[in-house]
Amino acid sequence: MIDEKTKTGLEILQAAVLLGVLGNVLLRETPWGLNVLLFIGALAAAFVMLVLRRKAELWNKQTVALNVALVFFAACFVWRDSLELKQFDFLAILTILAILILPSLNIKPRIAGVFHFIIGFIWSGINAAFAPFFLLFGDIRWKSIPQTGWSKHLVSVLRGLAIAAPLILIFGALFVAADAVFQGLVERTFNIRADIIVSHIFLTAFFSWIIAGYLRGAIIQNSADEVKDFLIVSPNNQSAKSQNLSVTQIKDESNEEIKPKVEEKKNWSWQKFDNSVLPNFFTLGAIEVSIVLGLVNLLFLAFVIVQIPYLFGGMDLVQNTPDFKLAEYARRGFGELVAVAALVLPILLVSHWLLRKDNKINETIFRVLAGINILLLFVIMISAAQRLLLLTGNLGYGLTTVRLYPMIFMIWLALIFIWFGLTVLRGLREQFAWGALWSAFFILGAVHVLNPDAFIVRTNIKLMQQGRTFDAYYNANLSDDAIPTLLENLDELDFENRCRVNSRYFYRLNESEQETDIRSFNFSRRSANYLLEENRYNFKTLDCPENTKYYSGKHDSYENGE
């Protein structure tokens, strides 16, 4: 009789093999597009099927929402062609897969913390790498599988193939070397390159392996038990240790004082990860918090005081300041201030986690100082935004991806800090990570709607109309998302810039003629190809000089701020 664990293991193995074959067929074709949606959709379907069949208690609103988000970001590979967006989509997919594995560890995603999200990443990676060993040699009890029908003779068939394969290869090679006619017959019959066969086998095995490991970690509850063995001290072990203490070493009066502390440690579990695992020396009280956040706030305040004249003085003050160039003020300062904003969040989260809970004054002081810190940080973020506006405004140097995406990231950080105030500072820390996660998903979805590359081209064309230099080389080398916008405004460019754009797009059009595989289908690429094909005649007949300077050389004024 097959037990439930073996049935679950066999279903996971079957799903993994099918998804491995599908992954090899779909994902080997680049650039990625429709193939990602089909593969992730199949993976989500397999996950849902296994959960409903074998772990129905894991099926809830959070699981549904995460699977919908998973398919959505996979669909974004069909929607947009921007490389940066695809990288963020890929990161979002990995994040969702990491969070989907948390319920198997008895962690509810809705109240999980950042620490648990990191655990999800680590644990899913460990399972993808090593869990198939446990699945094949532990979970599935092969001897319990009834040997009936095809399975009765499967082992014999596989053994015969394993013995015959090397013999066939050896004799075949000898025959090919011995006779030219036979060699020609073999080459015509098996006209397949060995490296292609190896790549198919490797990719199929690779995808099957990691998917089997991931699904095993997400579905089979023993995975959680294995982690607990390493990370949790069981009450039995603690009681055993306490029994080893000599009665003469502990006074009766102090026994009653120690006992509550021991009980507190017994109740600790890594699913509810707090600072009780640390010695008191490594936690923070009112004095430590006051010093740390107080000094940080003083530093922030000093910087804000310096920035106030520039916030209200604007471009005129920057230009009139001796030995102070606009590029130095805007380009140098923006990146550093974004980094400051990004560093504040982990500092506040870690310091709050280390905060001692034995005195309410600790929490009160932290809330006051953290609130001040966030207010000062908002002023700094406004300064960073002003620098970007100066850098990309009508007296600046144009908009690029390396300027737009940090700005979007800073907008997300602003939402995160507001959410931090509504949750952590109000004693609802367990709700912070879940809300922060979905705010990131919302911002990423909104960025897809914005279409960053097209937005960059529109912004730079507006700046050109106001008298700024237009870097046609940079704008023409953005992703296919930007092609419709640039072609729509092509007539507004001067002769030399039109030549650069047409030269790049004519080259791009020749590239697109080789992209015919449906697995790489992308809506943005397809739309761009249609537009390029419609304008093919203009690319050919434009009276541009016949040289390569319009598609090579230094045209990176946007990047250098020149």
> Vertex 389, ends 383 and 395: CA angle to 5°?
125
Query: If you ran DSSP here, which 8-state letter would residue 549 be given?
Result: T
Is 57 within 8 Å of 37 (Cβ atoms)?
no
Domains in the chain, number: 3
- With contact defined as beta carbons under 8 Å apart, do 480 and 83 qualify? no
Do 500 and 550 meet the contact criterion of CB atoms below 8 Å apart?
yes
If asked whether residues 474 and 414 sit together in one domain, one would say: no
Shared domain check, 520 and 410 = no
Is position 369 within any domain? yes
CA 543 to chain centre: 46
Inside any domain, residue 31: yes
Cα distances (Å, whole numbers) of residue 218 to 63, 126, 209, 250: 12, 12, 14, 46
Domain of 390?
281-432
Closest CA to 393 of 373, 375, 407, 380: 407
Residue at a domain's end among 397, 432, 467? 432
Q: Specify the residue for token string 């020609």.
A: 184
Q: Are residues 133 and 69 in the same domain?
A: yes
Cis peptide upstream of residue 31 (ω within 30 degrees of 0):
yes
Q: Tell me the pLDDT of the chain (562 aa) as tens digits.
A: 677 888 888 899 999 999 999 999 999 888 899 999 999 999 999 999 999 988 888 889 999 999 999 999 999 999 999 999 999 999 999 999 999 999 888 888 888 888 889 989 999 999 999 999 888 888 888 777 776 655 555 666 666 677 677 767 776 777 777 666 667 777 777 676 666 777 888 899 999 999 999 999 888 864 444 554 444 433 444 443 334 444 334 344 444 444 444 444 445 555 567 777 777 778 888 888 888 888 888 888 888 887 777 665 555 555 555 444 555 555 556 777 888 888 899 999 988 988 888 888 988 999 999 999 999 999 888 888 877 777 776 666 788 998 899 889 999 999 999 999 999 999 888 899 999 999 999 999 999 999 999 999 999 999 888 888 888 889 999 999 999 999 999 888 888 888 888 888 888 877 766 666 788 888 998 898 888 888 877 776 556 665 444 444 444 455 544 4
Whether residue 359 is found in the same domain as residue 504: no
**Residue 508 in contact with residue 532, Cβ under 8 Å?**
yes
- Contact (CB, 8 A) for 487 and 535: yes
Q: Are residue 88 and residue 198 in the same domain, yes or no?
A: yes
The answer to whether position 251 is within a domain reads no
pTM of the model: 0.77
Judgement on whether residues 374 and 285 belong to the same structural domain of the protein: yes
Structure tokens at 124: 């899913």
Sequence letter at residue 18 = L
Residues 22 and 148 in one domain: yes
